[in-house]
Amino acid sequence: MDAPFFKYGLFSEDASLLAAFLIGGGFGFFLERAGFGSARKLAAQFYFRDMAVLKVMFTAIITAMVGLTLLSQAGFVDLSMVTLKETRLTANLIGGLVLGIGFVIGGYCPGTSVVAASTGRIDAMIYLGGMFAGMLVFGFAYPALQPLVESHSMGKVTLPAFFHIPYGVLVLGVCLMAAGMFLAAEWGESKVNGTPLTPTSLLGGGRRTNTSRIVVGGLLALGLVAAVAGDPYRGSTATVSTSELSRLVDGKADHLVATDLADRLIAGRNDFRIIDLREPQDYATYHIPGAESLPLAQLGTAELRADETYLLYSQGGIHGAQAWILLKARGLPRVYSLYGGLDAWKDEVLYPALPEQPTAEQAAEVAKRTLVSQYFGGQPRSGGAAMPAVPQSLPPPPPPSDAPPPVQKKRRKEGC
Amino acid sequence: MSDPASHPPQPHMNPYLAGFGLGLVLLASFVVMGWGLGASSAFATCASTCVAAVVPEYAMQNGFFSEYAGNPLKDWLTWEVLGAITGGLVSGLIANRSRLVIERGPRWSRGKRLLLAFAGGMVMAAGAKIGGGCTSGQALTGGALLNLGSWVFMFSVFGGGYAVAWFFRKQWL
């Protein structure tokens, strides 16, 4: 059995709504257990009176982090299929600051306000109304805010990838950091409130074991296991089914032809990531609109995700096909190569050889392919004319006047 | 809503134990669904659907409303939030913590508290939609996934909160 269950198709979209209700039920239950249905308790975090927000949040983070890492290292969960939000440093930073200010003003964050409202807090019900109104205002102001919201994206970046630290080692580091923060928080609470440490805390209670010490100590021990258990991402050890791959190739389910790609780009149906496998300087000279640069040599270790679709191309067809096998071996389900590579793209889309005297049945096709070629900044060549020189720096294609924009965003289905 | 005198509210759960329980729920979401928890987008969906019902043409050309508008009853996060309402209610009833009150410091009036609750909700909506999520979807979920942007977001939340806490101390202390 493979996890995540839903992404491996183990249950339907409708059943996922039942799972949502059950998961949400647990979420709300534990938020209320912790006392987060009270704005005064939540706000006390910001006056160092009661650091429960920090303790609960970081215990939850390290529990889920350690658990997911160990399950992935054991091969049970495919970590690359767990949805990761894109990193946009400016937007994350500013949004976080605004949210923190809203937290102190309103007394709740969205999740806790829901729980507070359901346990009778009138201010939380008003807060929910404010959040609804805020969404309306934000929506109407969106055209002005869009540049900030969609500011530069670094893509999906994890801390281990960013700092070049092995995943498990970073997991242990976060556990240790959390434990240090817990100790500091308990010490600070006792200083600010002038109260002695309680016997149930990490610092109080003499030498006896208590619940707090068992939970935090247990998580640290599991974090230590994660640190030495290797790379949680599947990949280097994956095996391929040769019969399945040959069946895909035989059935032409492994590639996309250049003219189909052009049609999809124009229609805005490109829900895949286009990967340019050539060297960065070639990519800089010319690339297919919307393509990302990822040289072939980096393909084995690049962070690619099983829930995305990839289209690979290089100059000719060979590297794209080799990369296709490589990514199939890494267990990515939806990978295609561009048949004939960039050469075919130039030959068939940018500078197609079209008949000079088209017959009646050819006429529509010729007109269409002329338009397509011009859309991408090319020009059909007639009859025996030689192929024009390699385009040095083609202008980006103008947006079509009435067609939808080439890149259409998928609706965010999950996340907060 | 029980009488506070005869049924005093139970003390809160040990924060580390509550956090462990919350973490297991988040882990279950990762394993079962392949994504984490959320909250604020349910309200974005709700608001966008209302706008799309009133002015459909405008909503379709607005990047925000067109992204979030859709049948809320087919939306995963809507059901997750409905679950959270239920879970919170159950926990609150078990612990005798459910009662109609306005949470505020002793020196702050009801009216001013409700005004700030509304304003805080509005600010929160903007923060969540600029930052790409709230404390659930970014800090908790992205934190556990070691997402770079989520960790930046998380420290910004604490930074923003501590930076302005002094100005609002009378509301809480």
- Whole-prediction pTM: 0.77
- Min Cα–Cα distance to chain B from A269, Å: 16
Q: Which pLDDT tens digit goes with each residue over B47-82?
A: 999 999 999 888 888 888 988 888 888 899 999 999
Q: Which residue among B19, B124, B147 sits closest to A57, beta carbon to beta carbon?
A: B19
> Could you give the percent of chain A with pLDDT greater than 90?
43
Question: Contacts of residue B143 in chain A, CB cutoff 8 Å?
Answer: 57, 61, 65
Q: What do you get for the CA distance between the two ends of chain A, in Å?
A: 28
- Specify the pLDDT at position A411: 47
Dump strand ranges (E) for A125-165: none
* C-beta contacts of A298-302 below 8 A and 24+ residues apart: A299/A323, A299/A326, A299/A327, A300/A235, A300/A236, A300/A326, A300/A330
In single-letter form, the type of residue at position B78 comes to T
Q: What's the whole-number mean pLDDT along residues A194-213?
A: 87
Question: What are the beta bridge partners of residue B147?
Answer: A158
Torsions phi, psi of A201, nearest 5? Answer: -85, 175
Residue B106 confidence class, pLDDT cut points 50, 70, 90? confident
How far CA A208 is from CA of A55, A205, A219, A350, in Å, comes to 21, 6, 18, 76
- Specify the pLDDT at position B114: 92
C-alpha B19/C-alpha B24 separation (Å) is 9
Tokens of B21: 């329980």
Can you tell me the ipTM of this complex? 0.94
How far does Cα B151 stand from its chain's mean position? 18
Torsions phi, psi of A335, nearest 5? Answer: -130, 140
Q: Which residue among B47, B86, B92 sits closest to A135, beta carbon to beta carbon?
A: B47
Percent helix, strand and coil across chain B, each to the nearest 5: 70, 0, 25
Using the predicted structure, report yes or no on whether residue A410 has a pLDDT greater than 60.
no
Inter-chain touch B149–A88, beta carbons under 8 Å: yes
- In order, the DSSP letters of A316-379 are SSHHHHHHHHHHHHTT-SSEEEETTHHHHIIIIIIS-EE-SS--HHHHHHHHHHHHHHHHTT--
Least confident of A141-145, A250-254, A292-296: A250-254
CA dihedral sign of residues A148, B45, B35, B121: positive
Question: Contacts of residue A46 in chain B, CB cutoff 8 Å?
Answer: 161-162, 165, 172
Using the predicted structure, report yes or no on whether residue A237 has a pLDDT greater than 60.
no
Residue located via tokens 């809160």: B12
Which helix (H) or strand (E) element contains residue A382?
A: strand A381-382
Q: Which residue among B41, B117, B169 sits closest to A106, beta carbon to beta carbon?
A: B117
Question: What are the beta bridge partners of residue A337?
Answer: A255, A312
C-alpha A140/C-alpha A145 separation (Å) is 10
Question: Is the CB of residue A182 less than 8 Å away from at least one CB of chain B?
Answer: yes
